[in-house]
Chains A and B, each alone.
Chain A
């Protein structure tokens, strides 16, 4: 990653390093100027604090039932009320939030990592490697990931939630891989990559040091948005009993448990629902802001720049994968709503 390593401070640096420092400051400035990013990041920070400090704020344990206190509404004692067997809903919710966040982060890192590996290899090597890998991508894109995960999940009973994380990641990388591939294909012909190749640098070294750093903006954005998608997928699968299982709790299992009671005992449902939407919304706000800030063709003052936009690749909501993708495989997708 040395090619684009960004110095943390603007300390007197060799001339060669000054440009990246400028870019870092530019990006940071753009992020700080975006209201969406600031609000989103603040909400994310609060939610992380809630998820990891929350269990220590309440004397109640998320799993212990108290049969004397069943379905109590929210009060000073039980902040989010209690459920049908007297468990404290606040303790359960923060515990579920914690699990959902961890799952979301892990899935995003794993799936984006896998996507960049497959996409970069397909794009860089071309030929049969490319054809085979893209066939694999198309094949996996035919089935909604939900179907496959649901089929496999009964086998995973008893293996815990980490297997579920792997499964989610395994069915969430294909579209990103397509985009990385088409970006790599254009990078492959660039002078610095050609020069490295002629100097005898190995293929994987080139991918690691020259290709991936140059698609890192896209990968960062994609991984961010994937966190939100993964949390939604987790919730949906767990809701239908194909994901996280007891004794673990996640936002999805909480929603499943609270659904039947929602009309009469709303606290069993709406706290978890609100936290889920709030978290994904914050992630999307930050992801959208990152896209605007990291896009090298984005103009800084965006308000009066309708004309400048015309020169951009379909912007605002899209990474730089053109609508008329040159590959005759499945058409280029620029969405990532994953299994929900």
Chain B
């Protein structure tokens, strides 16, 4: 199993390098920082623009491969992601925003997965009962609603609640109350409340997707011989379901987890923008509009690492749960 995982890790490393180079080349080709500087008032001279671009390593007159080499050199030797178009270090912004995003991404995706697996399994056991039908309907509606719309609806709900109550019931902007007085407890409660709506926007999508798949894999397992055997040998129904049923039914979910992270990441970008979180997604949208190549590449790097980490985690999970995986 270790060899299998090592092989996967090697493959992912190759993919990561290729993908980052492509992202770099694409950003250089599509974004135009030169135009950004030339549009400044008062208009700088051509030589000044050139000097500025070269200093930031985003001069389009330098070959892309050369710029990439400089950038990769800085990243590998000094863990330096370059400078933003405002001539501030990308690292600083990156370090500030990464925790904001990871908090949302991790809690949102894990909560969505847990709720989805639990809901789907429960739904399968109670197939065609009212609760199963209700959950099916709910997940169909959620699957048909884009994440940004879920987020907007939640936000509008919070605004309506605020207007009705006269004060903010559930916060819907930012990730903390600025200048909050009080101790650690008050701060934690404040964090939790701010997390509620953005996390929910992400988790609801996960709940819908996972519960559909979990329901169908669980239904397959429910009719299996080994589950009947386990019961015949004296396990209670619930124990058999948990130990033999759920474990088998969860295996395909581990592969879904990897891919769902693609969607979750995009969803988080929308959610951050809508709820005013200063995370990676919001930074990305801002950076594209500002033609900020180094910032765009940094977010791409983050996305690629997150997606590949999720893929690797799925491999580990798959190998741990499924004894047939012994490449």
Residues on B close to A: CB < 8 A? 7-8, 15-16, 18-19, 22-23, 26-27, 29-32, 127-128, 140-141, 143-149, 152-153, 156, 159-160, 163, 205, 209, 212-213, 215-217, 219-224, 251-252, 254-256, 258-260, 262-263, 265-267, 269-270, 273, 284-285, 288-289, 291, 296, 299-300, 303-304, 307-308, 311, 314-315, 318, 322, 324-325, 327
- Asked if A12 is at the interface (CB within 8 A of a chain B CB), the reply is no
A335 adjacent to B260 (CB under 8 Å): yes
Known contacts A141-B259, A235-B148, A255-B152; 18 further A-B pairs (Cβ under 8 A) = A142-B308, A147-B266, A147-B284, A147-B300, A150-B288, A151-B296, A154-B288, A239-B270, A303-B128, A306-B223, A310-B221, A310-B222, A328-B327, A332-B255, A333-B255, A339-B266, A340-B148, A340-B267
When distances are taken between beta carbons in the complex, the residues of chain A under 8 Å from B254 are: 331
Q: Is A81 an interface residue (CB 8 A)?
A: no
Q: Judge whether B217 and A235 touch: CB under 8 Å.
A: no
Asked if A284 and B144 sit within 8 Å, CB to CB, the answer is yes
Q: Is the interface of B mostly helix, strand, loop or mixed?
A: helix
In the complex the two chains form, is A306's CB within 8 Å of B127's CB?
A: yes
Q: Which residue of A lies closest to B258 (CB)?
A: A331
CA distance A331 to B322 in the complex (A): 13
> Restricting to A276-333, which residues have a CB under 8 Å from any CB of B?
276-277, 280-281, 283-285, 303, 306-310, 312, 314-318, 323-324, 328, 330-333
Q: CA A236 – CA B269 in complex, angstroms?
A: 11
Q: Smallest CB-CB separation from B223: which chain A residue? A: A310
**CB distance B285 to A150 under 8 Å?**
yes
5 of the cross-chain contacts (CB-CB < 8 Å) are A143-B304, A155-B30, A308-B223, A317-B213, A324-B324
Which residues of A are in contact with B by a Cβ distance under 8 Å? 135, 138-139, 141-148, 150-152, 154-155, 175, 228, 232-233, 235-236, 239-242, 255, 259, 262-263, 269, 273, 276-277, 280-281, 283-285, 303, 306-310, 312, 314-318, 323-324, 328, 330-335, 337-340
B256 partner, pick from A232, A281, A306, A333, beta carbons under 8 A: A333
With a cutoff of 8 Å between Cβ atoms, the chain B residues found around residue A315 in the complex are 216, 219-220
Q: Are A139 and B259 closer than 8 Å at their CB atoms?
A: no
Chain A hits for B327, CB < 8 A: 328
Question: Contact at B143–A284, with CB atoms within 8 Å?
Answer: yes
Query: Which residues of the other chain, A, contact B16 by a CB distance below 8 angstroms?
Result: 142
Given A151-B296, A335-B209, A285-B140 contact (CB < 8 Å): yes
- Quick one: which of A135, A151, A332 contacts B288, CB cutoff 8 A? A151
The answer to whether B220 touches A331 (Cβ under 8 A) is no
Q: Decide if the interface of chain A is mainly helix, strand, loop or mixed.
A: helix
Measured between beta carbons, the chain A residues less than 8 angstroms from B205 are 337
A276 contact set on B, CB distance < 8 A: 145-146, 149
Nearest residue (CB) in B for A175 is B259
Residue in A closest to B127 when the chains form the complex, CB atoms? A306
Nearest residue in A to B274 (C-beta to C-beta)?
A259
Given the known inter-chain contacts A273-B153, A276-B149, A330-B258, please indicate yes or no for A314 contacting B216, CB distance below 8 A. yes
Q: Is the CB of A281 within 8 A of B216?
A: no
Q: Which 5 A-B pairs have the closest CB atoms?
A: A316-B216, A331-B255, A323-B252, A310-B223, A280-B144
Structural contact, A150 and B284, CB atoms closer than 8 A: yes
Chain B, Cβ-Cβ closest to A283: B144
Alpha-carbon gap, A222 to B130, bound state (A): 29
Question: B256 CB to closest chain A CB, in angstroms?
Answer: 6
- Do B19 and A139 have beta carbons less than 8 Å apart? yes
Assembly CA distance A147 to B297 (angstroms)? 10
Q: What residue in chain B is nearest A148 (Cβ atoms)?
A: B26
B148, closest chain A residue (CB) = A236
Complex-state Cα separation, A333 to B314, whole angstroms: 12
How far apart are A169's CB and chain B's nearest CB, in angstroms? 17
A331 to B252: give the CA distance in the assembly, Å.
9
Contacts of A323 in B (CB 8 A): 217, 251-252, 255
Q: In the bound complex, do residue A152 and residue B26 qualify as a contact, i.e. CB atoms below 8 Å apart?
A: yes
- Give the residue name and chain of the B residue nearest to A314 (CB): B217
Please, which residues of chain A bring their CB within 8 A of the CB of B152? 255, 259, 262, 269, 273
Q: Are A317 and B128 in contact (CB under 8 A)?
A: no
Contact flag A314-B147 (CB < 8 Å), given A273-B153, A333-B256, A334-B256: no
Min CB–CB distance B30 → chain A (angstroms):
5
Given contacts A151-B288, A331-B318, contact A314 B160 (CB under 8 A): no
Q: What separation, in Å, do the CA atoms of A242 and B251 have in the docked complex?
A: 37
User: Which residues on the B side are within 8 Å of A310 (C-beta)?
Assistant: 220-224
Taking CB atoms, residues of chain A closer than 8 Å to B300 are 143, 147
Bound-state Cα–Cα, A147 to B311, Å: 19
B18 x A139 contact (CB < 8 A): yes
**From A235, A263, A315, residue with most partner B Cβ within 10 Å:** A263
Contacts of B160 in A (CB 8 A): 263
Interchain nearest-CB distance for B111 vs A (Å): 17
Q: Is there contact, CB below 8 Å, between A142 and B26?
A: no
A144 / chain B contacts, CB cutoff of 8 Å: 262-263, 265-266, 269, 303, 307
Do residues A307 and B223 form an inter-chain contact, with CB atoms below 8 A? Answer: yes
Instruction: Please give me the residue from chain B that is nearest to A336 by CB atom.
Output: B259
Whether the pair A331, B31 counts as a contact (CB closer than 8 A) is no
**Contact status B263-A263, CB under 8 Å:** no
Q: Assess whether B15 is in contact with A147, with CB atoms less than 8 Å apart.
A: no
Residues in chain B near residue A143, CB distance under 8 A: 19, 23, 300, 303-304, 307
